[in-house]
Every structure is written in C-alpha cells, then in structure tokens.
Amino acid sequence: MTARQTSSEGNVVVIERMAVRIVSLLLIVAAVSVFVLWSANAVGSGGETTFALFLAVDLVAVAMISYVERSVSEQGNIGRAPLIAGCCFVLVLVIAGIYLL
Amino acid sequence: MLLYYVPSPTQAYATTQYIFQNVSYGTFLETVHLYTAYAMIMLAFMHMMRGYFVSVHKKPRELMWVVGMVMGFVTLGFGFTGYLLPWTIVSKSATDVGIGMIGALPQPIASSLTFLVVGSGTDAGELLRFYDLHVFILPAVLLVLLVVKMYMLESHGVSEPTTGVESLPAKKRKLIPIFPDVSFYLVELAALFGAAIILISVIFPLSLPQEYSAALAGQSVAQPDWYFLWIYQILKISAFEEAGLPVALAVVTLIFIALVLLPFIDRGKTRNIRDRMVYVTLGGIFVAEVAVLAVWGFLTPGRAIPDEAALLVLGGTALVVTLGSVVAYKAVFGGLRAFAKGRGSQGVPSAAASSSAPELAPKSAAMWTSCTFVVLLAAGAFFIGESINQMVSLVLGGTAVLPFLMLSLVCLSLTVLGTLYFLYRLDLGSGSIRRRVRAFEIGWKE
C-alpha cells in the first residue's frame, strides 16, 4: 500500500464521518423547524413574518453548522466569537418570531 | 408564481395582485424574488469589478471574462424583461422608454431587436415575449453559459493571487480542496445570504404600484429600475436628447464593448495591482461615474441635465477619483516600500525590498510636477468635454456654436502643446521623462 493510497483512504474516512455528523445535525434542524413552523400556524394572519423569521433562523443554523465543520477541517479548532454571535442572532430572531405569534 | 400569473395585458396586473393578496406567502415570495434579483445584479457587478481590479481577465482566462460579461448582460436582460411583467404604470412606462431607445439604434439592428422584444407591436405581443424571454429563453441561455464557464474554470483553474504564488510565504502555499473546505464556505455564505434576504424582505415588504393605463401613463414620469439609471441619466444630458440620442447610445455601447474586449485591450503581463495604476484608476472612475449617475438619476426623475452640469459633475468625479488614486498609490505603495525597506535592513527577506526603488526627485520638485500635471489634466478633460459638447451641438444644426467650438479646440491644442513642452522640460532636466514622472507615480514598474 503506497502513502498516497493511505492518505486517500484517510480522507474518505474523514469525509464520511463529517457527512454523518452534518446529516444528523441538518435532520435535527429540519425536525425542529417542521415542529415550530407547524405549531406556529404561519398561514394565518401575519404568519408570513413569523414564517420568514423562523426560516432565517434555520438558515443561520445551517451556516453555523457549516462554519463548525469548516473550522474543524481547516484549523482543527473553532472560533468562539462567530458562534456566540450566531447564537445571539438566532435567539433574537426566535424571540421576535414568538412575540409575533 | 408561474401557477397564478397570466401574461396578458388584461390579467397580468390582476393575477399579480391576487398573488400579493390571496396566495399564502405571496407577498413574501414576490418580495424575496425582487430583492434576490437586485442582489444578483449587484453581486454580478461587484464580481466583475473585483475581477477587473485583480486582473482575472489576463491570459489564459480571456474567454472566461468574455463569457462572464455575456452572462452579465443576460442578468441585465432578466431585470429588463421581469420589470414589465406586473404591468404596473412604472414598469410599462420605463420599458417603453427602453424600447424607444432600441428604436434609435442603426438599422437593421433596431428593427431586428424591436421585433424580438415587441413582436407585432401590440401590448399583448410585447408582454408575452417579455414573459417568454424572462421565464424560458434567458434562463436556458444563462444555464448554457454557466456550463461553458464552469468547463473553462475546470480547464484553467481559479486565478492565482495577484502577487504570484512565489511571493507567498511557504506556510500559505497550500492548496485548499474544493470539498469540504470551499464547499462548506460556499454553503455558509449562501445560508447567510438567504437569511439576510429573508430578513430584508420582512422589514421592507413590497407593495404593488398602480396598474398601467394609457390615460395614467401620460401623468407619470418614466424612470427605469436602479441598475439602468446610470444609462438613463446619460441619455438625459441635453446634448444627447432627440437627434443626439444615437450619439449617447454609441457612447454606452462603446463602454460595453470595451468591457467585453478588456482582455484584448489590457494586454500587460503584470497582474499586481501596484503595477496597474492607470487601469485601476480607470476602473475607479467607471465605478464612481456609474454610482454618481445612478444617484443623480434617482434624485432628478424626468428632468433634462444641462450640458454644463453634466460636464462639471462627471468631469469633477473623474478628477477626484484620479487625484485620490494618485494620492492612494503614493501613500500606500510609497509607505509600503519604505516599510519593506526598513524590514529588509533587519534581515527579513521581502519581495518589495528586493526591487529597485526609484530615485525620487526633491520633495518640492515632485510637488510642482504633480500640481502642473493635475492642472494640465483638468484643463485637458474640460476642453475635451467642451469640444465634444460643441461638436454635438454643431451636428444638431446650431451653427452659432462654431466660434465656441473653435475656441475649445484652440484651448485643447494649447493644453496639449503645454503638456508636451512640460514633458520636454522634464526630459531636459533628467534625461529621462519616465524617471521624473515616477516621482509622483511610485506604483509604476519599469
């Protein structure tokens, strides 16, 4: 077995692990989104804004997951500041969404 | 939107209104659709200018640039065709102005293009063609161009840093894999972009303007969407009105042709921004003029622009950007060079320090040289503009402007002669014009 083959197989293992983690996290986000949006009854009056806010929360969550995976892959550690900022942003959006319900 | 919208003059507005008022998330969808289109045009423009400044158009990526420019035109085509579809008074009036401009182009281009976008000349034919172009033809063309561009990207790879890979420290010379690193980065950007568009749509929801009717059209001022305002403002300059319209269209067409053929015009080998002062300055002038014209057009709807005002504003903008560019090059690259020299003396290797620094003239001489060139540049710009202005007036039939034209041409000739004499004196002083000129253009590379 050559060094290149070993490196290639190692990459495949890393990518498979990452893929499993990402899919799990995205499924959790999707499940929570469906539950929240369903219970919010966003089709009702003024529901468009609520729907849009929760959709934005979803997208910010996806961006944070992507950021975490990228940071681990590139640098091996995760910067705290973007994550704290992202969480605060999500919190503000969720509170605004609940307030408008 | 395709499920509810009907592309007919009698139903277009009503069905759009139905989407806004009765369809679940209709207003949200329409708003997101509009703001995403705006963002697409703005990002395409930023992408183009970023590519211009870092010279991605140079060998071997000339055709990629040309294809990218065509994709940019298709994007503008999306904007132009989509604007008419709601059949509001604003959109129909602005589109009519655009179609009128097409009619001023030389034959047979004018008749072919008019037939392509208007058809038989009826409102129904026009709306149906705009709808077909917006929903079927332009997306198909964009998709094909995207495939071609991606193929070229795969063949040539992304362009290297402008300073060259060799100048990077060894630590930074690693290759970044497209998966997972770049892919995750793109997902991150796309998700944040989507969230931003959604939030902006929530904060500033769209409202539908009044429906188009021939009676109301006469009372409203035709104004295109913001991305065409800069062209519209050029057409509003007094010299370019009515019989001067073909001249204005020729100017705009030449700008677009120059942008498409940029790789074959800017043929210098260097891609480093510090060695491309002239092209960077020209790019800066272009961005500044487009922004100034767009804002100016937004603030003066339907009002003709006097020639003198246009000359002052556009000439002034160009002058300010040129001066800013010269000062910035002097400050940034002069400063960097001094910094690099300092580091070089401490034994730290530096690419900038290794290059031969120019011999600077005494400070006062450099100052006088700069001031004289600025005055000559301003006078040249003014007299060129004034000569063109008088020539357009002369072509339009006003022989009364002949003395002013002669005066402008004489002044322009004197400015040119003065510049030549100044260069000659500089040459006498140093034996090399270029060395002296470099006294205030530190960014030049010999």
At B57-111, the pLDDT tens digits run 888 899 999 999 999 999 999 999 999 999 999 898 888 888 887 877 777 778 8
More confident residue, B52 or B119: B52
Q: Mean of the pLDDT values across residues A62-69?
A: 88
What is the pLDDT at residue B166? 66
In the predicted structure, residue B359 carries a pLDDT above the cut 80:
no
Cα angle at B67 between B65 and B69, to 5 degrees?
70
Other beta carbons less than 10 A from residue A70's beta carbon: 21
More confident residue, A42 or B232: B232
Q: Which amino acid, residue B93?
A: S
In the predicted structure, residue B445 carries a pLDDT above the cut 70:
no
What is the pLDDT at residue A44? 59
Lowest mean pLDDT among A11-25, B255-269, B366-380: A11-25
Kindly indicate the confidence band of residue B16, based on its pLDDT and cuts at 50, 70 and 90: very high
Q: Mean of the pLDDT values across residues B139-163?
A: 89
Beta carbons of B336 and B443 less than 8 angstroms apart: no
The answer to whether the Cβ–Cβ distance between B192 and A56 falls below 8 Å is no
Q: What is the largest CA-CA distance in chain A?
A: 65
What is the pLDDT at residue B338? 47
What's the gap in Å between the CA of A35 and the closest CA on chain B? 19
In the predicted structure, residue B192 carries a pLDDT above the cut 90:
yes
Q: Mean of the pLDDT values across residues B143-151?
A: 95
Nearest-10 crossing angle of helices B245-260, B62-84: 140
Q: Is B195 on the interface with A (CB under 8 A)?
A: yes
More confident residue, B437 or B348: B437
**Is residue B305 helix, strand or coil?**
strand
Beta carbons of B197 and B36 less than 8 angstroms apart: yes
CATH homologous superfamily, domain B12-159+182-205: Cytochrome Bc1 Complex; Chain C (1.20.810.10)
Q: Is B36 on the interface with A (CB under 8 A)?
A: no
The answer to whether the Cβ–Cβ distance between B184 and A73 falls below 8 Å is yes
What is the pLDDT at residue B343? 44
% of chain B at pLDDT higher than 90: 32
Helices (H), B347-362: 351-354
In the predicted structure, residue B442 carries a pLDDT above the cut 60:
no
Provide, as residue numbers in chain A, all residues whose Cβ is less than 8 Å from the Cβ of B187. 62-63, 66
pTM: 0.74
Domain boundaries, chain A: 3-100
Q: What is the DSSP letter of B158?
A: S
**Interface residue of A21, A29, A48, A69 to substitute, partner B, most B CBs within 10 Å:** A48
